[in-house]
Amino acid sequence: MNRVLIIEDDRTALRQVSQLFTFEGFTVDEAASGQDGIERALKQPPDLIVCDIMMPGTDGFGVLEALRKTTETSLIPFIFLTAKAGMQDVRVGMSEGADDYITKPFEAEALMASARQRLARRRLQIEEAERLATGTGMLAAATVPLEMERSLAHIERVSDALVSRFQADDQLTEMRTAIRTEVSHLRRMSQRLSLYGELPRLYAGRFSDHDALGRCSVEMINDAARTAAAENDRLGDLTVELNNGVIPIPMTGDAIALLTYELVTNACKFSPSNTRIELTATLEDAFWRLTVADYGHGMLPSQIAAVGAFKQFWSGSDRPPGLGLGLVLVQALVRLHSGEICIESEAEQGTRVAVMLPSESMR
């Protein structure tokens, strides 16, 4: 539901415009002065602003100027609604960035038509911005890993050459070990970016014969889980319950290993040390289920709904490292293989992520 802020010092006019927008299904916020309107818009930016011009103190032009200078409110559709109808006033309003100028007395249909047009245009602008951002992200994901791999390989060669030349230097040997650890971390990050850039092609070819998928073993899951836990110094917190043998799902070993690694890594990042991280796998009637549970910070429903590429939900000193691609890649891999992912969480209680993939016998 769209929220409109109406700024009007005339109480009768304010009530009439508010009732009109309420009747049309808008959530209405009211301000009886220009300064009050500025403060309300900055505190909780609305989807649309309808503002009178002639008000004591800060007039409508002052409101528009103040809000256009602030990033959070600069692009909000802004409609002047006023009895001040001279052409000079219209030019001033439009030059300041107003989207429309409607004179009093006004027709309700004209005001609502203008409001809907401004909101529709704003939605198109947002969709276009998101499309461009996604395209830019995909392009970066496709090109950055290649350049990163060249640099990482060069760093490895240089560190190896130094150690080979000064073999008796224990400190240099330790430095090479540290370099290799960081290179491994960056290479794994590069692999995530590369896979993210490959998602459109993978989705396009998901039904082609050459993309037929093989089987994988439980050992690959166990190894991936232990690697993720060890890299985060949480190996002692991890418990794994897996059936022996081959997993009856149409997914490659590399894919299931990456999926497992990302889920366990997220569990490590968002839960404190010395709390349990549990990985279990069960074969049900139609699905194979992999579940990773932690007992850490948890996620809010809004955070779960907003899972997306490069998105992190924590800030400040408690923000974990990473690009925020983990759950996005898991989600993409699961959907690519006709599966489902379920995230259950409660703030400060922990998070449980369950991946369900159809068994080969059901396909």
- CATH at residue 232: 3.30.565.10
pLDDT the model gives residue 359: 72
* Six token digits for residue 212: 């037929």
Last residue of a domain, one of 74, 106, 138: 106
One-letter amino acid of 100? D
For residue range 216-251, list pLDDT tens digits in order: 678 888 998 999 999 889 999 999 998 766 666 767
* Six token digits for residue 19: 């009732």
* Six token digits for residue 161: 């050459």
Asked whether residue 86 is assigned to any structural domain, the reply reads: yes
Residues 248 and 316 in one domain: yes
* Six token digits for residue 50: 């309808």
Last residue of a domain, one of 178, 204, 230: 204
Count CB neighbours of 246 within 10 A: 12
CA-based angle 25:29:33, to the nearest 5? 140
Q: Where are the beta strands (DSSP E) in the chain?
A: 3-7, 27-31, 48-51, 78-82, 100-103, 216-217, 238-241, 246-247, 277-283, 287-294, 340-346, 350-358
Residues 246 and 148 in one domain: no
Q: How far is CA 147 from the centre of its chain?
A: 25
pLDDT the model gives residue 22: 94
Residues 232 and 354 in one domain: yes
Asked whether residue 117 is assigned to any structural domain, the reply reads: no
Contact (CB, 8 A) for 55 and 11: no
Residues 154 and 185 in one domain: yes
Contact (CB, 8 A) for 98 and 64: yes
Asked whether residue 164 is assigned to any structural domain, the reply reads: yes
* Six token digits for residue 61: 């032009």
Interatomic CA distance for residues 38 and 60, integer angstroms: 10
Residues 221 and 331 in one domain: yes
pLDDT the model gives residue 131: 67
Residues 345 and 233 in one domain: yes
pLDDT the model gives residue 282: 83
Count CB neighbours of 174 within 10 A: 10
Interatomic CA distance for residues 81 and 227, integer angstroms: 63
Rounded to 5 degrees, φ, ψ at 122 are -65, -40
Last residue of a domain, one of 158, 174, 204: 204
Residues 222 and 344 in one domain: yes
Give residue 152's domain range: 128-204
Interatomic CA distance for residues 81 and 111, integer angstroms: 9
For residue range 28-47, list pLDDT tens digits in order: 999 999 999 999 999 999 99
pLDDT the model gives residue 357: 84
Residue 25 sits in a domain whose CATH number is 3.40.50.2300
Asked whether residue 51 is assigned to any structural domain, the reply reads: yes
Residues 199 and 217 in one domain: no
Contact (CB, 8 A) for 356 and 331: no
CA-based angle 156:159:161, to the nearest 5? 105
Interatomic CA distance for residues 137 and 179, integer angstroms: 28
Asked whether residue 113 is assigned to any structural domain, the reply reads: no
Find where tokens 């529709």 sit: 120
pLDDT the model gives residue 91: 59
Helix runs in 216-282, H state only: 218-231, 253-269
Find where tokens 């508010």 sit: 18
The tens-digit pLDDT sequence of the chain (363 residues) is 899 999 999 999 999 999 999 999 999 999 999 999 999 999 999 999 999 988 999 998 899 999 988 888 988 999 988 776 555 655 565 656 678 888 888 889 999 999 999 999 888 877 776 666 555 555 555 566 667 777 888 888 888 887 777 777 778 778 878 888 788 777 777 766 666 666 665 555 544 443 444 456 788 889 989 999 998 899 999 999 987 666 667 677 777 888 888 899 889 988 999 999 999 988 777 788 889 999 988 877 766 665 544 444 444 444 444 435 567 777 777 877 778 888 888 878 899 998 888 875 444
